Structure 1
Amino acid sequence: MAKRRDVHKKKKKKWLWITMAMILLVIGGGSPYAYSVLHNVQNTVDNELHKPIEGIDPEFTKKKVEKEEPINILLLGVDERAYDKGRSDTMIVMTLDPAHNQMQLLSIPRDTRTDIIGHGTVDKINHSYAFGDSEMAVATVESFLDIDMDYYVRMNMQGLQQLVGAVGGITVTNNDQAFDQGGHTFPTGELQLNGDEALAYARMRKEDPQGDLGRNERQRQVIEGIIREGASLNVVNKIGGIMDVLGNNMATNMTFADMRDLASNYRSARNDISTYQMAGRGTMIDGTYYQIMSDDEVTKAHDMITEFGSRDNES
């Protein structure tokens, strides 16, 4: 697996609700009491969740955090089953910029056709996880967008359902269309969702005229809903249940100390959240459907990430 490139030579070229959940606890709940509670679950984070990968240099990231520079986190949402490790049906690059108190969520469609780094094939980008786990997924996204990743967070989709339940439910606004999914009915307007409902809401794709694009938007809504609940001091009282969910469904290269540093330096980034969905041209190649991203679209996404911290916050 390729190592991180030297930044002095050149800039490197679902449901992950989890990262948000993790970072929601850290970025959202920053009170001394919250820290004392999080300290009690340090063993869970460091002994169960912490899964480092060779492609991300922790010292490189540590220097960026110390300087409060923008950092990139790859959020992977996978549909793991007892008989199948699954694919990363959700891939979002989250950029945190503490200097301007802002956060960006950039979604990559799962059918995006690209080189799978370390596998020697050209395939759908979400297959990178199935072929090589988080290591290959990180390397593939880094190569595709020519960026550096500082952290990754992988979450099993089934954990989403449990996580929403652990925080006591979330609120989303369905602005697009009423629909039925998974035995639940979702009218337009503001919706209060429990875990089962949130999972069904975020999974709907076939009835949506936008397909994956519409589903990705609902996924981002659920993520933001979890962040809002995580920012509430009331979530501290639910930390035990949340950590149980994370321990069973999440993996990340973050240590407890990393999360503590993020809480200290990046908590304000949740004050202004922007989103972007990459869009390509759908086509069939040898009987398989792909999204083909133009060079302009890939360059735009690259620039949105690498220049995020250099743009003035106009809000």
Structure 2
Amino acid sequence: MRSERKRTKKRKWLKITFITLSVILLLVVGYLFMLYKSLTNTVANMHEPVRDGQISEKRDQEINFKNKDPFSILLLGVDQRAGDKGRSDTIIVMTVNPKKQSIEMVSIPRDTRTEIIGRGFEDKINHAYAFGGVEMSINTIENFLDIPIDYFVQVNMEGFKEIVDAVGGVTVDNDLEFSYDGHSFPKGKITLNGEEALAYSRMRKADPRGDFGRQIRQRQIIEGVIKEGASLETLVNYGTIFEALSDNVKTNLTFDQMVAVQANYRAAAKSINQHQVNGSGKRINGIYYYIVPEEEKLTIQNLLKDHLELK
């Protein structure tokens, strides 16, 4: 009898354990399903095709992610305020080559004087966005660098504070003590909320490096968001994060393409090389421009063409 009671009690606990594990499994599966559904919906809202989905004229054929073809991506940080279409104050071109296990990252100063494709005259490169949005920016930067721009990611810097707050703030290593827009930023590692991060990334005039210094700070904020967004702690706040991304990020990458890049191009992140376009300031008709010599432009063009394995 005692042995039978023990077996009955054991079966009871096994049943309870099985039911408990089943409930936990269902909750996990349900959570992951909601996460996946929210992610796919967010990417769908972020998706913005350009050129009617056609590839660049500087490409002979489409990128094959399974073959790990090198590709380029344009990062645009747009300072878009109420009542203003905005300008692309941050312009970064990245070429990604998983076979060489490297990424080349070129920051283009916003005041760079170049031909605005579609307008027929020379102006500051960041004005291309104000004149014709993402598509004119892509066409102008393609002409400037003489390479195909395959994909783009546009971030609204005004709304970027929502993304920073959604991931719980970001930590950066500040190399210049300054104050801006009512906020003080001491040297060293500092943690910023959304409002502080926006002010930190906007300051330019008090930095002896000018726009170059601002570009460094903007890259720090973007890297901080990526780092925080990838941590497990932020998963519980995925709804807020996805909403912030949906409202402030646009890209022509599809969900499937993002998955393919994640699966096939991780090796490229082993080496990230950053480059600055060298030139000098000059006033033309009273307006300040950044003039890039032809030999410097050719050097950057050849670097990127080689990395993209273009003939």
| Separation (CA, whole Å) in 1 of partners of 2:91 and 2:151 | 13
SS at match of 1:66: coil
Structure 1 partner of 2:295: 296
The structure-2 alpha-carbon separation of the partners of 1:131 and 1:234, relative to structure 1 and needing over 3 Å to count, comes to same
SS at match of 1:279: coil
Question: Structure 2 regions of 5+ residues with no counterpart?
Answer: 1-30
The structure-2 alpha-carbon separation of the partners of 1:146 and 1:219, relative to structure 1 and needing over 3 Å to count, comes to same
Structure 2 partner of 1:19: none
Structure 2 partner of 1:256: 255
1:1-315 matched pairs, under 5 angstroms: 37-46=35-44, 48-54=45-51, 57=54, 63-175=63-175, 177-308=176-307
Contact 2:63 2:71 in 1 (8 A): no
Contact 1:165 1:195 in 2 (8 A): yes
> Cα distance, 1:62 vs. partner?
5.3
Give the number of equivalent residue pairs: 276
| Separation (CA, whole Å) in 2 of partners of 1:39 and 1:301 | 41
| Separation (CA, whole Å) in 2 of partners of 1:68 and 1:238 | 33
| Separation (CA, whole Å) in 2 of partners of 1:102 and 1:249 | 28
SS at match of 1:40: helix
SS at match of 1:132: helix
Give the partner amino acid of 1:190. Answer: K
> Cα distance, 1:34 vs. partner?
7.6
> Cα distance, 1:212 vs. partner?
0.5
Give the partner amino acid of 1:43. Answer: N
Question: Structure 1 regions of 5+ residues with no counterpart?
Answer: 1-32, 311-315
| Separation (CA, whole Å) in 1 of partners of 2:259 and 2:200 | 32
| Separation (CA, whole Å) in 1 of partners of 2:305 and 2:231 | 31
| Separation (CA, whole Å) in 1 of partners of 2:33 and 2:154 | 23
SS at match of 1:63: coil
SS at match of 2:256: helix
Contact 2:81 2:158 in 1 (8 A): no
Contact 1:198 1:222 in 2 (8 A): yes
SS at match of 2:74: strand
Give the partner amino acid of 1:57. Answer: Q
The structure-2 alpha-carbon separation of the partners of 1:125 and 1:56, relative to structure 1 and needing over 3 Å to count, comes to farther
The structure-2 alpha-carbon separation of the partners of 1:191 and 1:151, relative to structure 1 and needing over 3 Å to count, comes to same
The structure-2 alpha-carbon separation of the partners of 1:103 and 1:232, relative to structure 1 and needing over 3 Å to count, comes to farther
TM-score by length of 1: 0.81
| Separation (CA, whole Å) in 1 of partners of 2:62 and 2:228 | 28
SS at match of 1:122: strand
> Cα distance, 1:65 vs. partner?
1.9
| Separation (CA, whole Å) in 2 of partners of 1:34 and 1:215 | 38
Per-residue CA deviations over 1:198-248 (Å, capped at 9, x if unaligned) read 111111111111111111111122222222223323333332212111221
Larger radius of gyration: 2
Higher relative contact order (CA 8 A, sep 6+): 1
